[in-house]
Amino acid sequence: MSETHPCPALGDFLVSHDGAGIHCQPEPVDVTARDGLGATLSSYSGSITLDTQSGSGAWSLLSGAGTFSDTTAGDGRATYQFDPTDGGTAQFSLDYPSGPPTIDVDVFAGSLRDDDSEGDLTFDPGAFTLTASALPTPPPATVNDPIGTQTAGLEFPIHLTAYGASCGITETYTGSKPLRIWTEYHDPVAGTLVPTVDGVGIASTEAAATDRAVEFIDGRATIMARYEDVGRIVIRVKDESSATPIHGSTGAFVVRPADLVVTSVLNAAGDPNPATSTPTDAVFTAAGPPSA
């Protein structure tokens, strides 16, 4: 009756985006409030400020029940008051038609800021979109179809679309194209395994990536990816064959374990679990004593 549990305090904010924006296409940006241990602070109801730190860009609210305000349009700043029903996460859209091409989105509440693990966001006149499903024609006003949580060892499709300065699919981008494909580790920040794309391992850095042929039809292509490890990763692509390189990226997505197996279970006396199946079989251990 007398037990108390301290409420978790706000630790920082996690910002998520795909790292590659297009000037004529709003870029989805997720913001999650976290406690000091890095877990989502689902009860958060405070205010945040979003800032492109470039003096350019207009924000709007995509999902969230709180109060949003972009007082001065185009100055790159906006505020949002979380609602408790948000569960600690809200999604915003950044319209960035001009300004310095590479920005670092900043989210803060007083002295508490995001952890910068999302990396820079680079805008170009044209780029690749990497989505979970193929884009329709015409594409939606805001492309927001991220790669979801995957399972280690299972293949999943990534749909690439060449999106041009005309604010639509570049259907003239067709045929075999030389793409460089690599991964980035986000959590943990390093690894020994790399994903495969169409059965071949990709690089772990842009510098180590080499050209591989990807077949596009009317601006669209599909690659099949697989990751044999677990963690939070990003997959990036780039075509450097033209005067203006075209790049794109998935957002950071999680690959979860395929299975969980408990082995070598012992009781306090060091005896292994006999894995009994009937009430008359040998007793493993009584309720309460520790097991290894």
Query: Domain map of the chain by residue range?
Result: 7-123, 125-258
> Across the chain, what does the average pLDDT equal?
92
Percentage, residues of the chain above pLDDT 90: 72
pLDDT over threshold 90, residue 266? no
> Could you report the per-residue pLDDT of 44-61, keeping only the tens digit for each?
999 999 999 999 999 999
CB 236 within 8 A of CB 223: no
For range 64-88, the mean pLDDT? 96
pLDDT over threshold 80, residue 291? no
What confidence category does residue 154 fall into, taking pLDDT thresholds of 50, 70 and 90? Answer: very high
| Same fold for the pair 7-123 and 125-258 | yes
> Could you report the per-residue pLDDT of 209-253, keeping only the tens digit for each?
999 999 999 999 999 999 999 999 999 999 999 778 899 999 899
Cα–Cα dist 184/122, whole Å:
16
First to last CA, the chain: 32
For range 251-263, the mean pLDDT? 90
Cα–Cα dist 100/289, whole Å:
63
Lowest-confidence segment of 58-62, 133-137, 157-161 by average pLDDT? 133-137
More confident residue, 1 or 89: 89
Question: What CATH number does the domain located at 125-258 have?
Answer: 2.60.40.10
> Domain 7-123's class?
mainly beta
CB 250 within 8 A of CB 158: yes
Extract the tokens encoding 249: 């990226």
Determine whether 192 is exposed, middle or buried from the number of CB atoms within 10 Å of its CB (0-12, 13-18, 19+). exposed
Cα–Cα dist 239/194, whole Å:
20
More confident residue, 46 or 140: 46
Q: What is the pLDDT of residue 167?
A: 81
pTM: 0.80
pLDDT over threshold 70, residue 1? no
For range 145-169, the mean pLDDT? 92
What confidence category does residue 165 fall into, taking pLDDT thresholds of 50, 70 and 90? Answer: low
For range 100-120, the mean pLDDT? 94
